[in-house]
Amino acid sequence: MDSQSRLLHTASGVAPAEVARRAGHSIAVLFRFYAKVIHGSQQHFNEKIDKALMETNKR
């Protein structure tokens, strides 16, 4: 898996463990090199969590 593929997978929300596994890296290596991408996606992930929590509370 090339670096652009790892970047795309990480940015699109694929589980870091899966991205690392496919790339043949440890999660620590993935986080070290792609921390900016993960950090930049925090707002997106927070919105997804909020939406899931709201839907759970509706039940």
Q: What is the pLDDT of residues 25-50, one digit of tens each?
A: 898 988 887 777 666 667 777 788 88
Task: Give the least confident one: 1-10, 16-25, 26-35.
Answer: 1-10
The number of folded domains in the chain is: 1
| Domain carrying residue 14 | 3-58
Mean pLDDT, the chain, integer: 76
Q: What is the rounded CA–CA span in Å between residue 57 and residue 4?
A: 38
- Report whether pLDDT(59) > 80: no
Question: If 0-12 CB within 10 Å is exposed, 13-18 middle and 19+ buried, where does residue 43 land?
Answer: exposed
43, two tokens: 């707002």
SS3 call for 22: helix
